[in-house]
Amino acid sequence: MRFSIALIAAAAAAVQAGVFTQKNYDDISISGGVAGNAEQEALAVFSALDMNDLASADEDDIDFLKSVNSICNDAEDEAFNPAIDAASGEEADALQRGKIKNKVLKLEATILRLMIQQAQGEDVSADMATESKKLQNNIQQDEDEAGNASTFLSFDATTA
């Protein structure tokens, strides 16, 4: 009997494992290509998440989304900002578009994390309003630059 209960518990734990796997920043980055479609590109990065059952997401999923936010912040501070400061003209503009796409990825991760927390009964409405406003602002900036080149910058970081 003990064996059966232990086996069932182990199986249940395996089924509830997070849907995301550890990724390098470069593998999830959407900063390259062209501007205008950052929201869809960001959502594609997180497509493994069951949007119809966010309450079942586990702590590994939340940790992954938090780490995406963190490494995107680091990429902005340590890669994009210095590169933009050192560039001029269209080169700087393309880097800025890449930075905006990076921000959309970061903020989509934050919104998804908040949606999970909300689905699990936490009151995150104030944070959701603040982060949604930031996300919409960056999506609009990306859409305003639709079709223009966007620069990818490699960055050495890994998600949880």
pLDDT in tens, 25-41: 999 999 999 999 999 99
**Residue 89, Cα to own-chain centre: how many angstroms?**
29
Q: How high is the pLDDT of residue 99?
A: 98
Q: Exposed/middle/buried for 33, CB within 10 Å: 0-12, 13-18, 19+? A: middle
Distance CA 136, CA 39 (A): 9
Residue 150 zone, left/alpha/beta (φ > 0; ψ -120 to 50; rest) = beta
Q: How high is the pLDDT of residue 50?
A: 94
Q: How high is the pLDDT of residue 17?
A: 63
Torsions phi, psi for 159 (to 5 deg): -75, 170
Tell me the C-alpha to C-alpha distance, in Å, between residue 33 and each of 91, 101, 119, 150: 14, 10, 34, 5
Amino acid at 112: L
Q: Name residues of the chain where pLDDT drops below 70.
A: 1-17
Task: State the pTM of this model.
Answer: 0.89
Q: How high is the pLDDT of residue 49?
A: 95
